[in-house]
Amino acid sequence: MSNTMRDEKPSAVEIEGELDDEKPRLGDYSGAVAKTDVAEIALVRKLDMRIMPALFCMYFLNKLDQNALANAKLNSLEKDLKLKGTQYNTAISILYVGYLFMQIPSNMLLSSRKIRPSLYMSMTMMLWAVVAAVTGAVRNYTGLVLVRFFLGSVEAPFYPGALYILSSFYTRKEIATRVSILYAGNIIAVAFAGLIAAATFSTLDGSHGLSGWRWLFIIEGVVTFGVAFLTLFLLPDYPNNTRWLTVEERELAHGRILRDTVGREDSKGVRAGLMEALKDPKLYLFALMQNMHLNATSFNQFFPSVVKALGYTPVVTLVLTSPPTLFAGAFGVLIGWSSGRFNERTWHVTGCMGAAMIGFIINCFTLNITARYIACFLFTSGVYSCNSVILGWVSATLGQTPEKKAISLSLINVVSMASFIYTPYLYNNSDSPKYVTAMSANACFSFVSIACAWGMKVWLFRTNKTLKQQDPANIVFYAY
């Protein structure tokens, strides 16, 4: 068989015979089966060694570039650019306007198989590195807003694209852990952003006539560009044509995902995938759940300001932002592993968002330093850790075709990230130090996210019951 034919994507019908051989492998309540085959275990290990370090570093730098503005505020950003009123809040939110425009077209392009994901993702990273570095040269509010908008536009393809890559290579029992490791890049970036900013401000502020915040953007942009070049050789393309997989590994990577897909269908193209996603009512409940969840993470861009309310100096404040977020990163990986290990979603979302809700409420009612710092641990670990659970749930539930999966992930991401446009306005300087408006709103957002998870659990339970009645031989069902 020629290499060209081997790289072509077989349909679900063409490999049905191979999949039938696997049907005696009964799994848990949803039909998910743990890995036992030596070749499959070796394949997943190989994927982990290449995909996860690349995506982790990309997301770490993605968030580091975004959050630089929050730390720059503690330097002389507002003074140098003469920002007034809510102009800083607008500079924060405008980035996500760019995100909204680009995410869906980007994932549609990825799922069309007309481009190599490894090349596409690396090139977009190089673009955002350049734009991030240019931020250090802005001279006024207008320039800041324009650069932030373009930064959002070129960064937009990364996160939904990374989720699509993970969902193309990992099964339902595996993906939550991998998404949690990916998301840990975000969390650790938040943790180290303060430390990096503190070091930059204390050593380079005023050097060569440039403020510390300008050096921060320049340095982070240069490092991001260098890492982007390296990811070109680590990232995969598609399961059946990734260059660093053998022919046998490609076939195994492709087949195991089809075996793990509920209600799998043959691909009908990108446009059909878009319509399939839009017609699935479960998409909208997931979108609401994730939107409420990300509403509750709105403190991210203001975390230094929230911690500043403890009353310490700017440098100490930046250092104190690290422990809660580092703990949240480790806790998030544990939650992702647990969700995959037990193939459970609802109780994990409930526990995480419930803990976050308690943290937000504590922050509303007390100025006690110890209590407020404990609250920081609760709400950071709570909201950050359930992100992988929700997105893994989406991938496993709305993945009947690769196109539908890619578009569903990007649609939900767009709807959820729209929250970053309006939530910055909840954090008014006049509400400091408690930020009662923002924190009480976050508690409400957490509660609604929990309610959505239980609504989805009931919905999928009933859907599984219907699937069993329609086809008693079916062994693959929705997980909840």
Q: Which helix (H) or strand (E) holds 255?
A: helix 247-259
pLDDT at 234: 93
pLDDT at 30: 67
pLDDT at 246: 92
pLDDT at 224: 94
pLDDT at 18: 45
Walk along the chain (480 residues) in steps of 10 and give the mean pLDDT of each run. Answer: 41 43 57 78 93 94 85 82 84 82 86 88 94 91 91 90 91 87 84 83 85 90 93 91 91 86 75 88 94 86 69 72 84 89 92 94 84 88 89 86 86 84 78 81 94 95 87 78
Q: What angle do CA 475, 401, 173 make, to 5 degrees?
A: 50
- Interacting residues of 195 by C-beta distance below 8 A, sequence separation 6+: 318, 319, 322
158 closest CA partner among 41, 22, 63: 63
CA 83, CA 89: separation in Å to the nearest integer?
10
Half-sphere exposure of 153 (CA within 13 A, CB side): 9
CA 54, CA 49: separation in Å to the nearest integer?
9
418 touches 425 (CB < 8 A): no
Half-sphere exposure of 71 (CA within 13 A, CB side): 36
Please list, residue by residue across 138-151, b when 16 or more beta carbons sit within 10 angstroms of its beta carbon and e when fewer do: beebeebbebbbbb
- Interacting residues of 93 by C-beta distance below 8 A, sequence separation 6+: 420, 421, 422, 424, 425
340, two tokens = 């995959």
CA 174, CA 339: separation in Å to the nearest integer?
9
pLDDT at 287: 93
